[in-house]
Structure 1
């Protein structure tokens, strides 16, 4: 029988997972390209769903140069996460990293806080994707029914349909998800090229010079000062990269996670940047009247934008369908990742009824699926989606909460590593080195802290109950829930992620101590 060292990459990964305290429960069916394609397709969707906020935040100059700035500024975060992930490649992700990177006195609390930040983040980022896709679907219907002003309850029902569909695909066709990742990557790559060609050729709403497409900046729609308007307009571009750390939640389904996950993280931003540029440039050079786009029913201008640029309803619908398809693929992918993160945190006995939500069952296609975690994630999304019935800007709140929580969960292990003088991760397989590592880690923490502030700001002033950004309210609400649950249950029963190797060492030391006493 082969040892783990001489076996396949999956055997080695299984052995490494055991050393981190977990047993292999999910099937390893993914490689580098599956994980990479699983996330790079978010570029076009992330720029399309909150597109109106980019227009409010200054227009073309904000979207184009904000995309360049954010891509450059986010790469240190991706590399910092890649380094830690290479040493601890488990679906437990950031909560496990915090547990391993801080002192024994603080590790339980650090892991608990990070775990709940991660949970709220993955639930709301999944919600934002499916809700954004629902709004895009409504925008597509408006191409042919321009007088129809969808009521909040109607948009909510569309959202329910998109969310349930995304969940059912993941549950019933789990074995096919790696193939779906490849299909969606092909759809996205070909789709943005088709958008580039079609918009550039038709340009029925007129063409703009480079001075407009790359330099037009109008802060009047936001009410903020010009400088702050630019940063408010970064919401679409920063949102696009908000889910990069969720790559870790798929670790236990990757053949060689210690190698493939860090590579995926390292390349996500560069590849996503290229896709985003190909998508944005033709839109900026053929952009219709911005005032018209901002006055569209429902606040989602993508459908009207494509119709005006293509010069016909059929042409606009054809281009719109590409973006809608990307949204559906994103919904399937992000729902899958959210279920894995939920399952892994339940596995550590950190959420109510953990024994229920940590179960893995055999799906109809014969593969292992964390069904109950899928259901929990679905139910929470549907409940939070009800907020839309009371706020027409709920989507920005969902984006803000998701990005805030995930951003905070990403920088916690990085900051803990810096406090530890990067000692624990010096032997990481994907090492950034001492000098470069320090610089990239500090940059990642500072940039993400700035983003967190932006996510909580309203897009326009003066602020009313309908334009208020409720991200901070939802964030505080979940914070109170996690704190109350910690006082009720967590402080007594939460032991943190298992630490198999460390426990073995402690047991061995205890045995030696007992023998010494007996002698």
Structure 2
């Protein structure tokens, strides 16, 4: 009876049979990719409608490095001036390349929407795999919530800032509730883009094109309008202005790296789309590596262009808009309408970033819930039959984004610490499977299509060293002397969240979190069903002239 139910589920959620009538070869690719998911013990419930371009749209659309620099510009400027961001981008890009290599290798081996927590489940020692997979998944999902909240807050701040500039009252003071109300409205409005499956790949591609187009338009416009009034090269590349209060210039520079690091975070995004694209073992590494490459080129040239175009840095730091990049546009163009137009392009880019972030956090929540990693998992693991999307997981994640936004009303310091925590949480979630990989031995695991041998080993070590470095130094106060109002509470949030996860694990998690044996039982039934279907489709493909040896792939 159980096997019959599994057969019914596969038939009802998979379009393989229909595809065999129309395009046997394509149907076989889908079935083969689904077989890998089934062999891991999961029902293939999501449609594979993403291409490399829509996948890159999600990956780069979320990371969106040049937008990240725009949104968090003031942090870097106060920690050493423009040069701290210009050189910080280079440093972070090099490190992000090592992270990208590490994630790409693992995603090429293990294709699952669970990403890093699933890799941990496969690689960790037998007695500890469930605990560390649970901890990894918890950190990853929490990191995605904080990231989505930070992106939405960036949009809200930009919208309020544009209103302030349009109003023209230099004495107007933006209140916290102005930004908070805007934030909560945006959180609700932008949630609708991840409800339906069919348009989502198109939204993702549009986010990619909008980001790149906006980058080109803004950069050319600002440079053209600033012609003849550029800052000297020393202002951009060599002058160090320590406005943090730290006596050590080195510490000031390090805490300023939070700005470019946030702009290169979330590199795991594409890995969680593994069940919505064909050939994930090839296309996901391409997407991750291209995200870093495009991010470096766009953010570095964008930053240099903006800094050369600054007329008065003090006016920007003391502006009442709360949006430094908007003030740079205004100084360069000399008129409010032009500055507002360019900032609207930034907001459109940020909307695409927010949609991608919602896609990412929903996949993390849904996949983690399949293994009972969250309270109420039976609700969050459901894929909506009408929209073919994990809608419950999506709205639950958006609810927590709304809750995090409420913290902003209570304390902007606490909120900013949570935003910084997204970097730390995600790095820790990457470190867990990498440590498990090195403990098992890189030569003792199957190698995927993306495998760099000794270079991969170096990337693993650099990623782990950087994680340790970031966890320590990103917990330092941004300014000195430190008070309760400007303290960095990242360490408190990290320790507090990990303590909660450990308590939940021993109270309930260890009883309900999926065991390896449970997944093996699921895999036997699902794998048998899909293997039979592939054999049937292979015969259809052979009759239709598709010269592909699918029988070999089934074996």
SS of residue in 1 equivalent to 2:199: helix
Whether 2:263 is the aligned partner of 1:240: answer yes
TM-score in terms of structure 1 length: 0.91
Structure 1 position 304, deviation (Å): 1.9
Superposed CA RMSD: 2.2
Structure 1 position 449, deviation (Å): 2.1
Structure-to-structure mapping, 1:302-317, within 5 angstroms: 302-317=325-340
Structure-to-structure mapping, 1:379-394, within 5 angstroms: 379-394=399-414
Matched with 2:150 is 128
Whole-angstrom CA distance in 2 between matches of 1:62 and 1:466: 25
Whether 2:472 is the aligned partner of 1:450: answer no
Q: Which runs of 5+ in 1 are unaligned?
A: 506-519
Structure-to-structure mapping, 1:22-33, within 5 angstroms: 22-33=42-53
What is the aligned counterpart of 2:182 among 141, 158, 168? 158
SS of residue in 2 equivalent to 1:465: coil
**Residues 130 and 162 of structure 1 are in contact (CA less than 8 Å); yes or no, is this contact kept in structure 2?**
yes
Q: Deviations over 1:399-451 (max 9, x none)?
A: 21111111100111111111112134342221112x22221111111122222
**Residues 273 and 363 of structure 2 are in contact (CA less than 8 Å); yes or no, is this contact kept in structure 1?**
yes
Whole-angstrom CA distance in 1 between matches of 2:96 and 2:46: 31
TM-score in terms of structure 2 length: 0.85
Whole-angstrom CA distance in 1 between matches of 2:347 and 2:488: 25
Whether 2:72 is the aligned partner of 1:53: answer no
Matched with 2:31 is 11
Q: 1:184 to 1:245 in 2, by over 3 A?
A: same
Matched with 1:109 is 131
Structure-to-structure mapping, 1:103-502, within 5 angstroms: 103-145=125-167, 146=169, 147-171=171-195, 173-203=196-226, 206-297=229-320, 299-363=322-386, 367-433=387-453, 435-496=454-515, 499-500=519-520
Whole-angstrom CA distance in 1 between matches of 2:354 and 2:285: 23
Whole-angstrom CA distance in 2 between matches of 1:265 and 1:198: 30
Count of aligned positions: 499
Whole-angstrom CA distance in 1 between matches of 2:49 and 2:25: 20
Whole-angstrom CA distance in 2 between matches of 1:381 and 1:344: 19
When structure 1 is superposed on structure 2, of 135-144 and 77-86 the one drifting more is 135-144
Q: 1:19 to 1:457 in 2, by over 3 A?
A: same
Q: Deviations over 1:347-383 (max 9, x none)?
A: 11111111011111134xxx31111111110111111
Whole-angstrom CA distance in 2 between matches of 1:257 and 1:267: 15
Whole-angstrom CA distance in 2 between matches of 1:105 and 1:184: 43
Q: Which runs of 5+ in 2 are unaligned?
A: 1-16, 526-555
Whole-angstrom CA distance in 2 between matches of 1:99 and 1:56: 42
Whole-angstrom CA distance in 1 between matches of 2:313 and 2:415: 20
Q: 1:427 to 1:493 in 2, by over 3 A?
A: same
**Residues 76 and 444 of structure 1 are in contact (CA less than 8 Å); yes or no, is this contact kept in structure 2?**
yes
Whole-angstrom CA distance in 2 between matches of 1:248 and 1:134: 28
Whole-angstrom CA distance in 2 between matches of 1:170 and 1:137: 22
Whole-angstrom CA distance in 1 between matches of 2:446 and 2:33: 20
SS of residue in 2 equivalent to 1:463: coil
**Residues 123 and 436 of structure 2 are in contact (CA less than 8 Å); yes or no, is this contact kept in structure 1?**
yes
